[in-house]
Structure 1
Amino acid sequence: MQVSVETTSNIERRMTIGVPAQEIDQAVQKRLQETARTVRLNGFRPGKVPMSVVKRRFGAGVRQEVVSEVMRDSYVKALEEKDISPAGWPRFEPKNMEEGKDLEFIAIFEVLPEIELGDLSKIEVEKPKAEVSDKDLDNMIDNLRRQQADMKSVKRKSKKKDVVTIDFKGFIEGEAFEGGSAEGHKLTLGSGQMIPGFEEGVIGAKAGEELEVEVTFPEDYQNEELAGKPAKFEIKVHTVEEPVLPELNEEFFKKFGVEAEDEEGFRTEVKKNMERELKQAVNNKVKNDVVEGLLESTEVEVPQALIDQEIDRLRQDAVQRFGGQMDPKQLPAELFTDQAKRRVKTGLLFQELIRQNDIKAEPEKVDEKIQEIASTYETPDEVIAHYSSNPQQKAQIESVVLEDAVVDHVLDKAKVKEKKMKYEEAVQAGQSQG
């Protein structure tokens, strides 16, 4: 087998492979003999079909089958011989496939790029600094109670946190606009669900009232045709309801999976959950800043084969997330291209940092992560045992720990600036990353 490799770009290779005709002919002959022993043709007894007949009937198909297999196997052997790691499956271009002549074909494929990491010391990271205050805890418990509240109609003027049922119709320059009307819409006043000024205009209204509210759409409104324009809404208030909050008792606590005898115990558990959420949000924000810094400081040519593989994964995730039965391939690749490219590039940069700095997922860190996850369940010991006895599940935790180790390595060299934030601001900063 003859092999030559041509570098056509930083990540593309053209490998020319030649296979002696004798090797192909022997493989074809062997396959035809196997066919002759098993094929059934009218007029011939099983196993007694003349080779000339078998070759005439099946020769072309068998040869094509053999050539495809030889091309695949020869390509794999050539990669081992040249010590090349491809980034994906190749595209084969036959140069000579004539019977009786040496087989010659080209395999075009991509390899992982050589990465020259940028200056990590120039990466800037903003780390939220926040804590769960008593006020934050009070607000959280109030929100939990409102989730379980019963609604009671009232005749008084509406106020914040009331739920109003309204009809509304919006006009710009006297003309109704698409998407600007609804009937029987339930709105929690003060929730920020509507554009600025709308909910404020409804506060103070009673059931049965009709009113007009003038607002201006924000400049950054998602619908560009409405952005920055003044509008008038005609609103009819059907009902005003106030929430009747449930008592803080054991029955209420159990609805949120908390086993507590009194309010103090419930507050303790809720605060623990909030602190876990805050920690995760801060980690997300920091990791995103690290990733952004790496992407900006290092140029990476990303193999299309890896992007295509990631697009397929994102398609499958999308179908599973929405519970659909459709073929993932029906989702346009363009929907996922940017996200896939970012993920692949990030993965390549992380791999290079791991390789250059011999970063590992330390066993004690893996155990800590498993214990951290287990602490959120009712039976932590069972969760720990599950991960310990399931190599695949444990490997996923090791992967997370390894990523965290990479982030920590970058943080040691980057410019990290702490920024004081309120609890909700910090959580929102972490949740908005992706």
Structure 2
Amino acid sequence: MIANKEIERLPQSAVKLSVTIEKDAVRAEYGDLLKKYSKTAKLKGFRPGHVPGDILEKKYGDSLKHEASANIMEKALKDIFEQIDEKPLPYVTPELQGDFTPDLDKNLEFAVVYDVFPEVTVGEYRGLSAEEADVEISSEDEQREIDILREQNALVVDKKEDTVAKNDIVTITYYEVDEGGKEIPNTRREGFVFTVGTGYNLYKLDDDIVGMKKDTEKVIAKDFPEDFEYEILRGKKVTLKVTVTALKEKQLPEMDDELAQDISEKYKTLADLKADIRQKLEEVLKNRLKSENISALIKKVVDASEVDLPKSMVSLELDQMWHNFVSRLRGTEEQVEALLGREGKSKEELFKEWTPAAERSAKTELVIHKMIEKESLVITDNEIEDELKREAESSNTPLEELKAQYEKERVRDYLVEEMKKQKLYDIIITAASITKGGKRKFMDVMGNNK
């Protein structure tokens, strides 16, 4: 059936596959289609299933030729992909190049272009160097953890006074308004709850609503700087109408032995709690510094590696970034795109801005995958069992329940890949030279990752 095939490598890990199919194979497929439709076709003047082939051919000949060509092309590509190494990536569809007019008297010639898994040349990843921050855990760091525990054990009650203050828990309704004070569609949010002072809201309304009273409305004008946390609002001016619909406050417990005992039976005194907090902070810091070292070392490896990224891989990464972006804004895709539109920006422009980061992320994953392959890293069933036991213990989840969850949600493969990465990181960091750098505060190192 296949008279000839040629493979041409293109930039960005794409391949052009040119194929020639013998005309007899196309003719045979065309004949099979005629027989098939002759048995099922319904035409005026003929009994169902008794339409002569020459009549069908006269009426539907061109359509049948195109269908026969499409069928035979699909079969040919399936056979070829089973034989060659240059297989398309699983999430791409080969694109047919140009137009063709089926001719049963000639061989069928066509070409498709598609992305393949890229070749990866990994830079040196043993014997690298990194600088680790010099960090000490202070009494303020310990107190911060105790304050968090007090917050977690606080009673939340309706506030007697109806004026919003810092640390109050408020429920608000808000929406954007235009210059005439009219509500802008798709910007309304009702029943939004947050703690004043945390900044856990898109427009950073914390300071603006301090002093507001319950069941009152306020018009708030916001002028966001160019370096604002949320890209969608950078350099923008927005006017909102905000109504406080509910107001609660926290009653914090005293910092004493009773608090320690309420937190856990393993603590008898406040001193026991503080000692445990200190130990946990030291462990968290150790892991964070290790993570920073690994990131620095992996960056060096990626910078020294060569990868010809396929466009489809970058597109896949951008789609994931968009999904995460929409989730962070807690809206629908339509709402986020509408918000972008009001700010004079499109989804396509956002993707263009994100492309360098998407390329970096895709390249990093490919380089890591290649290093794992070079090291021939495997994860045994015993190692998986031990990891699940550790996770079950840390999450207070029965082991069998956790195992069932991993199997049901098909995340076992993900766990294996993450464990392989950890093995790779251990190899890289063990072979690296880590020196102490300048002093940094605990929270500067931890950022928002603690």
Alignment TM-score, normalising by the size of structure 2: 0.65
Q: Give the unaligned 5+ runs of structure 1.
A: 164-185, 192-198, 200-217, 227-241
2:404 corresponding residue in structure 1: 386
SS in 1 for 2:394: coil
Secondary structure at 1:291 match in 2: helix
SS in 2 for 1:118: coil
Distance 1:187 1:325, change over 3 A: closer
**What is the rounded CA distance, in whole Å, between the counterparts of 2:22 and 2:308 in structure 1?**
36
Q: In 1, distance between residues paired with 2:262 and 2:20? A: 70
Structure 2 residue 117 is the aligned partner of structure 1 residue 112: yes
Instruction: Pick the aligned partner of 1:24 from 23, 26, 32.
Output: 26
Equivalent residue number for residue 443 of structure 2: 424
SS in 2 for 1:125: strand
Match of 2:174 in 1: none
Instruction: State the Cα distance separating 1:401 from its structure 2 match.
Output: 0.6
Q: Does 1:76 find its partner at 2:74?
A: no
Q: Tell me how far apart the structure 2 counterparts of residues 374 and 117 of structure 1 sit (CA, whole Å).
A: 36
1:395-427 deviation digits (Å, cap 9, x = unpaired): 121111111122222223333234565432332
C-alpha displacement of 1:352: 1.4
Matches within 5 A, 1:260-339: 262=268, 264=270, 274=281, 277-278=284-285, 280-320=287-327, 322=329, 324-326=331-333, 331-332=347-348, 333-334=351-352, 336-339=354-357
Identity of aligned residues (%): 20
Q: Does 1:142 align with 2:147?
A: yes
Structure 2 matches for 1:8-407, cutoff 5 A?
8-9=10-11, 11-87=13-89, 88-94=92-98, 96-100=100-104, 101-121=106-126, 123-128=128-133, 135-146=140-151, 148=154, 245-247=252-254, 262=268, 264=270, 274=281, 277-278=284-285, 280-320=287-327, 322=329, 324-326=331-333, 331-332=347-348, 333-334=351-352, 336-386=354-404, 389-390=407-408, 392-407=410-425
CA displacement at 1:25 relative to structure 2? 1.8
Q: Secondary structure at the residue paired with 1:120?
A: coil
**Matched AA of 1:27:** E
Which string of whole-angstrom CA distances, capped at 9 and with x for unpartnered residues, describes residues 115-141 of structure 1? 222232474434456576665332211
Provide closer, same or farther for how the CA distance between residues 342 and 418 of structure 1 changes in structure 2, counting only shifts above 3 A: same
Q: Which amino acid letter does the alignment assign opposite residue 443 of structure 2? A: E
State the SS of the aligned residue for 1:59: helix
| 110-119 vs 127-136, which moves further | 127-136
The structure-2 alpha-carbon separation of the partners of 1:385 and 1:244, relative to structure 1 and needing over 3 Å to count, comes to closer
Q: Match of 1:246, SS?
A: coil
Query: Residues of 2 paired with 1:111 and 1:373: CA distance?
Result: 37
Counterpart residue identity of residue 119, structure 1: E
- Aligned to 2:429, which of 390, 411, 416? 411
| Deviation string, structure 1 residues 212-255 (Cα, Å, up to 9, x no partner) | xxxxxx998889989xxxxxxxxxxxxxxx98632369997899
Deviation at 1:343, TM superposition (A): 2.1
State the alpha-carbon separation in 2 of the partners of residues 224 and 429 from structure 1. Answer: 21
Check the 8 A contact 2:258/2:269 in 1, yes or no.
no
In the alignment of these two chains, the number of paired residues is 368
Q: d(CA) in 2 for partners of 1:153 and 1:328? A: 36
Aligned-pair CA distance for 1:153: 11
Structure 2 residue identity aligned to 1:313: Q
**What's the CA shift for 1:103?**
0.7
Question: What SS does the aligned partner of 2:6 have?
Answer: strand
Q: Which amino acid aligns with 1:42?
A: K
Over the aligned positions, Cα root-mean-square deviation in angstroms equals 4.6
Q: Distance in 2 between matches of 1:86 and 1:338?
A: 24
Q: Could you list the per-position Cα deviations for residues 62-111 of structure 1 after superposition, in whole angstroms to 9, with x for gaps in the alignment?
A: 33233233323322322333332334433221575432111101122333
> 2:184 is matched with which residue?
none
Relative to structure 1, the CA distance from residue 70 to residue 60 in structure 2 (aligned partners, 3 Å threshold; closer, same or farther) is same
**CA 1:322–1:74: 2 relative to 1, 3 Å:** farther
2:407 & 2:116 partners in 1: Cα distance? 36
Distance 1:7 1:396, change over 3 A: closer
1:409 partner amino acid: I
Over 3 Å counting, the alpha-carbon distance change for 1:394 and 1:112 in structure 2 is: closer
Structure 2 Cα separation of the partners of residues 329 and 60 of structure 1? 46
Confirm or deny: 8 A CA contact 2:18 2:111 kept in the other structure.
yes
Q: Which runs of 5+ in 2 are unaligned?
A: 169-194, 200-206, 208-224, 237-248, 338-346
Residue equivalent to 1:214 = none
Q: Deviations over 1:279-321 (max 9, x none)?
A: 5533432332233112222232211121122223333444455
* 1:316–1:328 contact (8 Å) kept in structure 2: no
